[in-house]
Amino acid sequence: MKPGNDPKKSRDNGRTAKPDAPIDPYLPRSGNRGYRVSRYELDLTYRVVANRLTGTATVIATTTDARGKFALDLAPTMRVTKLSVNGSRPAKYAQRDGKLVVTPARKIPVGGVLTIVVHYHGTPKPIRSPWGEVGWEELEEGSLVASQPNGAASWFPCDDHPGAKASYRITVTADSPFQVIANGTLVRRTTRASQTTWEYEQPEPMATYLATVQIGNYETRRVSDGPVPLYAVHPPRLKANFDRDFGRQPQMMDVFSRLFGPYPFTHYSVVVTADELEIPIEAQTLSIFGANHCDGSRGEERLVAHELAHQWFGNSLTLSRWRDIWLNEGFACYAEWLWSENSDGPSAHTIAADAHRGLGRKPQDLLLGDPGPELMFDDRVYKRGALTLHALRLRLGDEKFFALLRQWTAEHRHGTVTTEQFTDLAARFADAPLRPLWDAWLAEKALPPMPEP
């Protein structure tokens, strides 16, 4: 990493950044300064038919500078009714412009504990964004959460930025006919009268956009006896389709664990909703697909591979800033190609050549290393990111390339990453400077020639 380019320093040190300067220019209204969250404890009650959410959120943080006020991200659809700071109640607070501004009774010194307990309720709705509606969304029977990139505030008060990772306890009480799935491990389930409470623990640090709650008329079953437990969560009618469409996940897990390093969590689940979804949803320890992705044809297997790969690239290793989105999507897209060539499909080189031809027919106005917020989820980021990795693989050779990926996932396991960190690490595996490669693929808009073996 280059000196002066440490995202943690620019985020936390009030002497090097304006006190209320945006954390990330891609999402200038998301994220907050003055503290770092270490844990969220969410105690939620959800009425499915009424779409009514009542919650108590405990946000445990450490202050990074002394200030009179702190802010959390919270959508205006969630109304705060009571709030305390470090046990003093009530504390002063105000909601405006998607922020919950908290004023402690006493100024907290740098490095001090900041525990904010927020009681709130409302009718959760997705947040409108330039990338569509994101956050808590109603289904025909139940709900889902799809928060990337800035939808977490639709259902809990948070520091909504990918560089702000924390552990979670998510407890949800819902009507008993419904199952509740959330990140991490189910540690307790209790039923009283007509409601069931589900408690999940997610000990590994997680970005806010990866936190999720899925509620529906589902059945849950373990579908693999391998070293990493794999679970299927779906409407009962989709069982046979699931077993075909997702039947090769154990082999995918073996291939990716060999190429990328050990799977970074204790288990992996796939949720298939009864509703159709335009695209699958990434979340930590699970992925969410629509019924349209589970029709028994095995026609969406590349997406199955893509979402599994995100557990390494995006969930364990999470980008520190949104401009580096290719570190998530380019890697997951390349994992699709790697799965193909490791499962008797076309080679990664064959798929890369086809992707290169496709990109050549599209506008040459995307800068992969800094695509801008309007283009950060453009399909060209996915394909060009994967091609960048393929070019690097051809330059280094398979042995060094996959050693690099395993070192990358090991060094930054459950952390946050930047492009500079990856390029610096790659230099240790190269016999010649890689700067021309990075300049051509990351720092220029024109598409470089197709890399050849």
Q: Which of 3-7, 78-82, 228-232, 238-242 comes out lowest in average pLDDT?
A: 3-7
Q: Rounded mean pLDDT of 81-89?
A: 91
> What are the tens digits of pLDDT across the range 348-373?
999 999 999 999 999 999 999 999 99
Amino acid found at 299: G
Phi and psi at residue 445, to the nearest 5° = -80, -35
Tell me the pLDDT band of 1, cut-offs 50, 70 and 90: very low
- The count of other CB atoms within 10 Å of the CB of residue 300 is 18
Active site residue 41: no
Residues of the chain with CATH 3.30.2010.30: 218-311
CATH code for the domain defined by 8-217: 2.60.40.1730
- Judged against a pLDDT cut of 70, whether residue 4 lies above it is answered with no
* pLDDT of 19: 64
Question: How far is it, in rounded angstroms, from Cα 109 to Cα 131?
Answer: 38
Tell me the pLDDT band of 91, cut-offs 50, 70 and 90: confident
- Judged against a pLDDT cut of 80, whether residue 264 lies above it is answered with yes
Tell me the pLDDT band of 330, cut-offs 50, 70 and 90: very high
* pLDDT of 178: 97
Residues of the chain with CATH 1.10.390.10: 320-442
Tell me the pLDDT band of 88, cut-offs 50, 70 and 90: confident
- Superfamily of domain covering 320-442: Neutral Protease Domain 2 (1.10.390.10)
> 167: which strand partners?
39
Cα dihedral 320, 323, 324, 329 sign: positive
Cα→Cα distances 439→129, 418, 443, Å: 31, 16, 5
* pLDDT of 71: 97
Question: How far is it, in rounded angstroms, from Cα 176 to Cα 170?
Answer: 17
Question: How far is it, in rounded angstroms, from Cα 441 to Cα 422?
Answer: 14
> What are the tens digits of pLDDT across the range 174-215?
999 999 999 999 999 999 999 999 999 999 999 999 999 999
Q: What is the largest CA-CA distance in the chain?
A: 68
- The count of other CB atoms within 10 Å of the CB of residue 50 is 8
Cα→Cα distances 152→129, 164, 251, 430, 436, Å: 12, 12, 33, 40, 39
* pLDDT of 195: 97
- Judged against a pLDDT cut of 60, whether residue 8 lies above it is answered with no
Q: What is the mean pLDDT of the chain?
A: 95
Residues within the annotated binding site for Zn(2+)?
306, 310, 329
Active site residue 200: no
Residues of the chain with CATH 2.60.40.1730: 8-217
Q: Rounded mean pLDDT of 275-303?
A: 97
CATH code for the domain defined by 218-311: 3.30.2010.30
Q: Of 137, 301, 307, 336, which residue is the catalytic one?
A: 307
Written as six digits, the tokens of 411 are 């060094």
Written as six digits, the tokens of 345 are 């499909």
> What are the tens digits of pLDDT across the range 131-183?
999 999 999 999 999 999 999 999 999 999 999 999 999 999 999 999 999 99
